[in-house]
Each structure stands twice: as structure tokens, then as C-alpha cells.
Amino acid sequence: MIQALIIDDERLARSDLRGVLKAFPQITITGEAANIREAEEMIMRLRPQLLFLDIEMPEGNGFDLLERLTTTPHVIFTTAYDAYAIQAFEINALDYLLKPVTEKRLEEALARIPATVPAASAASYFPIHEKIFVKDGDRCWFVPLADIRLLEAADDYVRLRFGKHAPLLPRSLQSLEQKLDPQFFFRASRRHIVNLQHVQSVSLLPSQLLQLEMTDGSTVPVSRRQTALFRELRGI
């Protein structure tokens, strides 16, 4: 069973989508929101696994909502306008449905949902399978935490390094660190947090400090204090 929210400012559109969804008993609608403010509150409270998200709404668009969220569920966009189609697919949404939504197109969209959808978690740390929505200029991504190899402080922002991309996230490194599972992420220095799954090797510098070589070939220095902690945690 997949728990979902419908987010659309048009009451009739929400009602129509509910009607079409009756043919898909695997989807449970746990709530509806008519604007971004309501949607953000409901997502934080109900922690759905799937959003049916309209793009154009009076108080901002669906991308604005996603940017407010710390992590994001799966998303299927629903809208009356096709101007956003390319952008929606660039950010790796499950699908993009034009209104009125038909049962056939909804079936195709739902087929894109992974066979195993993790249950919503209330854990203090973000599960490694969670995704972060990142908007940098005109480009947007849904980035699984597991794909982020390095988080780097950049004034009041955090630069996320994944694949060949390095967009900025408008949050502090400290605020993110509090939610990252230390089983997977390690604070190498005041400026860097590394994903331990992307550490390829560890070397000892002449200064007796450690240096981490990442899977992309880059290196990350470990501060003196964190070198001692890393050695203790890793038994080296």
C-alpha cells in the first residue's frame, strides 16, 4: 500500500483525480492540499510516499514546494499546462500527467514506481534511500542521498557533489549534518562531510593527518580532530 497526497488548488481537479484513483487500490490518499503552505504542513505531518503535485498554484508553483522540503517523496506532476513537461522530466519525476488525467495514463505513471517503496520514516536521521530536491538556476534534480559523495560548506549554502554536478543548496552544513546518518556520512572537517560509501582509499599525510580519496578521484583532507575520530571509528 502506497500513501499519497493530492496537491492541487482546484477542488474539481482533486475530486476527478480521486475518482480515477479508485481503480488503483494500491494507492491510499491520506490527504489533500490546496496550496503550498497546506501541502508543506501535511507532508511533514503525514510523511507520504507519493505526491500528485500540480505545478501552477496561486501562492507559488510545485517546484517552490519541493525546494522547501528537506527530503522528497516520489512525485507525479499533474497540470493543465505542458510548458513544464521538459523541466519535470529533467528533474527525474516519476511522470507528468496532463489534466484531465485518464486511467490509462495514470496506470502508466504508477508503473514507474519502484517495486519496493520504503515506508515513511520518522527516524531522527534521513534514511540513505531518501532524496533531496535541489534547484540551481533553471536546473533541478531529485538526488538520492546515497548518490551524494561530498557536501561542502559555501558561506550560507552547501555545495552537493554528485555525478558531474555540484549545485548549491540554501542550507547550512551544520543543519544538514544533524539529519545525516553517521553510519554513512562523516564530518571530515569544518567545511566537508563525506559519504563513506564513496571513499575509495585513505592515506596518511606526512603531517600525520588523513586524506580521503573519493570515487571520482578527488581528495578530501581530514582535520586533526576528525583524524583522531576517524581512526578510532575505523580502528586504524
* Tens digits of residue pLDDT in 142-192: 888 999 999 999 988 999 999 999 999 988 999 899 889 999 999 999 999
The CATH number that domain 2-110 falls under is: 3.40.50.2300
> For 13-39, how does the pLDDT look when each residue is reduced to its tens digit (9 = 90+)?
999 999 999 999 999 999 999 999 999
| SS3 assignment, position 47 | coil
Q: What DSSP character marks residue 61?
A: E
According to the model, what pLDDT value does residue 229 have?
93
Query: Does 116 have pLDDT greater than 60?
Result: yes
Q: What percent of the chain has pLDDT over 70?
A: 91
Cβ–Cβ < 8 Å for 76, 52 = yes
Residue-range domain boundaries for the chain: 2-110, 144-234
Say if residues 198 and 149 touch (Cβ distance below 8 Å): yes
The tens digit of pLDDT for each residue in 30-77 reads 999 999 999 999 998 999 999 999 988 878 888 889 888 888 888 998
Residue 193: alpha-carbon gap to chain centroid: 17
Q: According to the CATH classification, is domain 144-234 in 2.40.50.1020?
A: yes
Same fold, 2-110 and 144-234: no
**In this predicted structure, what is the pLDDT of residue 119?**
55
